[in-house]
Amino acid sequence: MANENYDILIIGAGFAGVTAARELSQKGYRVLILEARDRLGGRTWCDQKLGRTLEMGGTWVHWFQPHVWSEITRYGLEVIPSPEPKKAYWTANGQGKEGTPEQLFDLLDEANQGLLADTRKYFPLPYEPLTSKELKNIDHLTVSEKIEQLGLNKEIKDLMESLWALNFNGPTERAGITQAMRWAALSDNNWQLMLEICASFKIAKGTKALIESIFSDAKADILYSKVVSQVEKTADGFTIKTKDDKQFNGKSVITTLPINVLNSIDFKPSLSAVKCKAAKEGQASKGIKFWAKVKNFANPFVAFAPVDYPINYAHLEYVEGKDGIIVGFGPDAAKLNPESIYEVEQALRQMKPDLEVIESAGHDWVGDKFSGETWPMQCNNQLTNYLFELQNPEDGLFLAGSDYANGWAGFIDGAIESAFTVSRKTADYLKEQSTKQRTIQ
């Protein structure tokens, strides 16, 4: 393969890379995928933990996400709901409280309505996020600043900070209000529907079943454990070098690296100054996802805790006899080792003191050198300053992935959407190059 010439070299075998490979190979192009890991999936990964298959990364899907839903339909995959919570626990203003989920969300309703009140004004076309000429007027604001402007009491403010730190999987001080509004716009301007879309339905056989189905239709070559070190533009196209001293040639390149690790590759010539700046700055997510099996507790619940806790959100995802399996998140990966039963138990007991953790699991995506982030969420000023340029190709070099999506950035849907767009642009580029070659001859 190293001596072969391909039409397209794709860096990364997550949903964006595999979908692009399918789309382009089915058009007759010769495609090679170079994947740094030993598996498909990127930041979606099913692993055997806690006695069952668990999603260590991306998990949930919804019919409001049209691109992933069309793929689920195409391959006839079953979608199942997560358990509906019957109880809610929350810690705010220094006090632990409990009630029903309806009571908790009623507390948050007015504040979220205020936070997202101007969503339709700024995002009239959710899949064309740069349409409004007024975006610059608000893109500088963070979610934290916008919450402060609402004049909330301490309990509601704490809960709002926790909710949006969950959505961004990072601190609200870096969370762009335009990113929050983008999600709301895609959810029919309904924040409770937005929460349902984010974490209520999953593929019965896991995300692995979907990506393997897509890959099975890709007539592409793939090499695993190939860490790309350099992408160089040549007279004939591109040459990619890997850290094991292999070299691959192609007429075009699609890189699906997350924005936080985009600068790990030496591009020759370098990417545009704006792309480099965006990659250096990174995005907002810096948190952790964990799983915990708890003893003698199998009641469906949802829980929120302050943003300075190691875990700020958890809910029951599976029931096994008298025991339950909890999934949850914290906004700072440095504060929780998801593999430590002791750390996870101590953190969960800040939400519900009587929980006993039997096993725990998780993966540090922020510390992972191939991802550097969890799901991508833009900081303030990043939508108007960077998105257009990140989507702009550079003479046969394209960026694809959830980080660069117009719609559901941060989800599988965004990765697939971006792959569709970039596949079309890549095919157009190759047709144009072929026409130029025939003209010269």
Establish whether 35 is an annotated binding residue.
yes
Query: 177 is in which domain, residue-wise?
Result: 101-196
Determine the Cα–Cα distance for residues 325 and 312; give it in Å rounded to an integer. 17
User: What is the pairing mode between strands 237-242 and 301-304?
Assistant: unpaired
**pLDDT for 155-210, tens place per residue?**
999 999 999 999 999 999 999 999 999 999 999 999 999 999 999 999 999 999 99
Residue 381 phi, psi (nearest 5): 75, -5
Residues 377 and 240 in one domain: yes
Residues 220 and 171 in one domain: no
DSSP string, 57-73: S--B--TTSHHHHHHHH
Give residue 95's pLDDT band: very low, low, confident or very high (50, 70, 90).
very high
Residues 138 and 211 in one domain: no
Give residue 2's pLDDT band: very low, low, confident or very high (50, 70, 90).
low
Determine the Cα–Cα distance for residues 66 and 82; give it in Å rounded to an integer. 20
> Is 233 contained in some domain?
yes
Establish whether 228 is an annotated binding residue.
yes
Asked which of 168, 196, 224 is the last residue of a domain, the reply is 196
Q: pLDDT value at position 3?
A: 61
Two tokens at 264?
């790990």
Q: Quick one: the chain helix, strand, coil %, rounded to 5?
A: 35, 25, 40
Residues 210 and 181 in one domain: no
> Is 212 contained in some domain?
yes
Residues 272 and 143 in one domain: no
Residues 146 and 190 in one domain: yes
Residues 124 and 235 in one domain: no
> Is 315 contained in some domain?
no
Residues 154 and 189 in one domain: yes
Give residue 87's pLDDT band: very low, low, confident or very high (50, 70, 90).
very high
Asked which of 196, 228, 248 is the last residue of a domain, the reply is 196
Residues 107 and 230 in one domain: no
Place of tokens 């996400």: 65
Q: What percent of the chain has pLDDT over 70?
A: 99
**pLDDT for 302-329, tens place per residue?**
999 999 999 999 999 999 999 999 999 9
User: First-to-last CA distance in the chain?
Assistant: 28
Residue 61 has pLDDT above 70, yes or no: yes
Strand partners, 357: 294
Residues 267 and 234 in one domain: yes
Average pLDDT of the chain is: 97
Q: How many separate domains does the chain show? A: 2
Q: What is the sign, positive or negative, of the torsion defined by CA atoms of 81, 202, 167, 150?
A: negative
Closest by CA to 34, choosing from 209, 221, 216, is 221
- What is the total residue count of the chain? 441
> Is 143 contained in some domain?
yes
Residues 262 and 382 in one domain: yes
Which CATH number do you get for residue 421? 3.50.50.60
> Is 417 contained in some domain?
yes
Asked which of 196, 222, 250 is the last residue of a domain, the reply is 196
**pLDDT for 105-127, tens place per residue?**
999 999 999 999 999 999 999 99
Kind and range of the H or E run holding 11: strand 5-11
> Is 336 contained in some domain?
no
Residues 149 and 17 in one domain: no
Which CATH number do you get for residue 123? 3.90.660.10
Which amino acid, residue 351?
Answer: M
Which residues neighbour 30 within 8 Å (Cβ) at sequence distance 6 or greater? Answer: 4, 5, 6, 7, 8
Q: At what angle do helices 177-186 and 382-390 cross, to 10 degrees?
A: 70
**pLDDT for 356-413, tens place per residue?**
999 999 999 999 999 999 999 999 999 999 999 999 999 999 999 999 999 999 999 9
Predicted TM-score of the model (pTM)? 0.97
> Is 14 contained in some domain?
yes
Are 24 and 16 in contact, with CB atoms under 8 Å apart? Answer: no
> Is 217 contained in some domain?
yes
